[in-house]
Amino acid sequence: MPHVIRPLPVHLIALAIACLPLGRTVEAQVADTLYSGGDILTMRGPTADSVEALAVKDGRILFVGTAADAAKHLGPGTTSVDLAGKTLLPGFIDTHGHMVYFGKNLVDADLFGTPDIPDLVARMKRQAGRTPADGWIVGFGYQAREMREGRTATLEELDTVSADRPVLIVDRSGHLGAANTAAFKAAGISADSPDPAGGSFSRKADGRSLLGPMEETALNAVRGRRPPFTGTLADEAITGAARVWASHGHTTAQEAGLGLGNDDIGIVLNAIDRQLLPIDLYIAAKDSAVDDTIAASYTVASQYSAKPDGTREKLLARRPDLDKRYINRVRLGGVKFWLDGSIDTAWFTQPYTTTPPGRTGSFSGYRQIPDEVLDAAFDRFWPTNLQINMHMNGDAAADQALAAVAKAIRKHGMRDHRPVFVHASWLRPDQIEKMKACGAVPTFLPAGIVPGGDSVVKLWGPERAAGAMAARTFLRAGLPFTFSHDAPVSPTPSVLALIDAGVNRRTASGVVVGPDERIPPYAALQAVTSMAAYQIKEEATKGTLEPGKLADLVILDKNPLRVEPATIKDIRVLETIKEGRTVFSR
């Protein structure tokens, strides 16, 4: 069979001929792949920088620069890719998402956008049909306030899905849900069971039977009894989610709360063992699962380390964070703490402008954990490489974080720790100064603008809403910041949606919230590439297109820097490449 040679674009053939050096002594390395013929944004400087060609060899970037110089790396085995006017960028880096949690939801019924209870029940009945006989029938993503009845389904309604198999629904926030008779029975809960601290089971008016809905820790008590994801279910959850992440241009994903489910660690260990992941996964262990996750990570690190004299193992035993490598695409990079709630439970120093539904009088949200718990976490992790990620929306929560950082610095000294202020929705100028001093990085959630912006304006008032997610303020001060989707809080891990929200700040109703905090498209791209790599401390290998870095790439159908800003959200990811290998293509 004749050897098939892919035709080179004409301009490259001409250059290859023109550039053949006579009497050259040192051979240029031959590329595996050479990209040209479109916009190639390197993201390596403070302003846009575009090159003509990029060459890849052995999963790393070999060359970026002119087409003429790139031609030196052409060989008979080189695949030449003509971008045909499309745009090549560094692969997107997830700075706050929940890929494992998302994957588990993927296996469950999709309840996003369900308009009413009959529709929800119908979706759950379809789910029953595809759930193994011994499995729970679970659905995720409804929102009671968006449904016609304005409430969660009851136990009786869920019993119509199945009378004898456990049925559980969880709303989009993940904090509220409901179960049927069989699920409560499986969890050993009756109307006589006391409410756990920090949660409650709804009961009928007579108090003698369960109504179905439950909140927070009560929901966890039932959810925790669901049989763990194992075998093909565990495979499907994580590979399905990784496919979705890759389809949105991610070459690095994140699970920013491993341990939310009691089978999370098992699912990830299975993925490592079976080498299931096509893209990298950065993990931050949930506060309550920190010790279990570190123990698991130590076992994995030992398993995959060379053992000449055991020194490395002895070091790792004392400092599991010493192993900063990805092992089969997984790395434990941080820990995660929740300091406050979401839009209607954020912890502020000043009261809400409009009291959220279900609250009375002056309301300023509330804290989730005592200072001592956070201080102890900083004492333990500040001197290590495990980054501390803290969920916070209100400024009182940011104060709590900053006080804990200050104490850690006093005790252990300044470190290049880069604590992550997750969401950091509303910060005061004095707090931004303190963040600068301690090297904190905020990862903003532009979903607070699209689709949440209209509620933010109403609840927090126009002034706080305008200054929320202060990307422009950070940009002006020369400070790093990133954008994240927090999927499944955003129903899809769309990165173009983040760029759109950061650039346009236009809410669902069309209002521009805080026009002064809009940023140029280039800065928004940095927030998901170069600055994102910085946040997770992987800037040496990721985030920009430079020789020696990983060939983690994404191809878009249009250049976000050239289109009308209002149309950024319509740009499509065409291909995602992880270390030189295509992991998604449309």
State the residues that interact with Zn ion by CB under 5 A. Answer: 486
Cβ contact 507:488 at 8 Å:
no
Beta carbons of 64 and 42 less than 8 angstroms apart: yes
Q: Which residue lies nearer to Zn ion by CB, 422 or 471? A: 422
Q: How far is the CB of 288 from Zn ion (least distance, A)?
A: 15
Q: At its nearest, how many Å lie between Zn ion and the CB of residue 66?
A: 43
Nearer to Zn ion, 237 or 422 (CB): 422
Which residue, 138 or 445, is less far from Zn ion as judged by CB? Answer: 445
Q: What are the start-end ranges of the E strands in 302-354? A: 330-338
Euclidean distance between CA atoms 229 and 243, whole angstroms: 18
User: Distance between CA 421 and CA 409 in Å, rounded?
Assistant: 17
Smallest distance, Zn ion to C-beta of residue 97, A: 7
123 versus 391: smaller Cβ distance to Zn ion: 391
Give a three-class secondary structure readout of 251-276. Answer: EEEEEEEECCCCCHHHHHHHHHHCCC
- We find the least distance from the C-beta atom of residue 257 to Zn ion, in angstroms, to be 6
Q: How far is the CB of 170 from Zn ion (least distance, A)?
A: 15
Smallest distance, Zn ion to C-beta of residue 242, A: 18
Instruction: Give the pairing type, strands 33-41 and 87-90.
Output: parallel
User: Token digits for 307?
Assistant: 């053992």
Strands (E), 265-408: 280-286, 330-338, 387-392
> Minimum distance between the CB of residue 371 and Zn ion, rounded to whole angstroms?
22
User: In degrees, to the nearest 5, what angle opens at C-alpha 131 toward C-alphas 265 and 235?
Assistant: 35
* Other residues' Cβ atoms within 10 Å of the Cβ of residue 305: 15
CB neighbour list of residue 326: distance below 8 Å, 6 or more residues apart: 280
CA-to-CA distance for 177 and 160, rounded, in angstroms? 17
Nearer to Zn ion, 338 or 366 (CB): 338
Q: Who's near 24: CB < 8 A, 6+ residues apart?
A: none
Q: Which residue is nearest to Zn ion (CB)?
A: 486
Identify which of residues 287 and 486 has a Cβ nearer to Zn ion in the complex.
486
Looking at the Cβ atoms of 53 and 285, the one nearer to Zn ion is 285
Distance CA 552, CA 536 (A): 15
72 or 172: whose CB is closer to Zn ion? 172
The closest alpha carbon to 172, from 120, 207, 249, 222, belongs to 120
- Give the shortest CB-5-to-Zn ion separation in angstroms: 49
Nearer to Zn ion, 74 or 532 (CB): 532
Choose between 174 and 249: whose C-beta lies nearer to Zn ion: 174
Q: How far is the CB of 96 from Zn ion (least distance, A)?
A: 6
Q: To which residue do tokens 């009088």 refer?
A: 361
| Minimal distance, residue 393 CB to Zn ion, in Å | 11
Give the rounded distance of the alpha carbon of 492 from its chain centre. Answer: 10
* Least distance from Zn ion to the Cβ atom of residue 338, Å: 9
Contact partners, residue 189, CB within 8 Å, separation at least 6: 201, 210, 221, 222
For Zn ion, which is the closer residue by CB, 184 or 444?
444
**How wide is the angle at C-alpha 297 spanned by C-alphas 484 and 289, nearest 5°?**
65
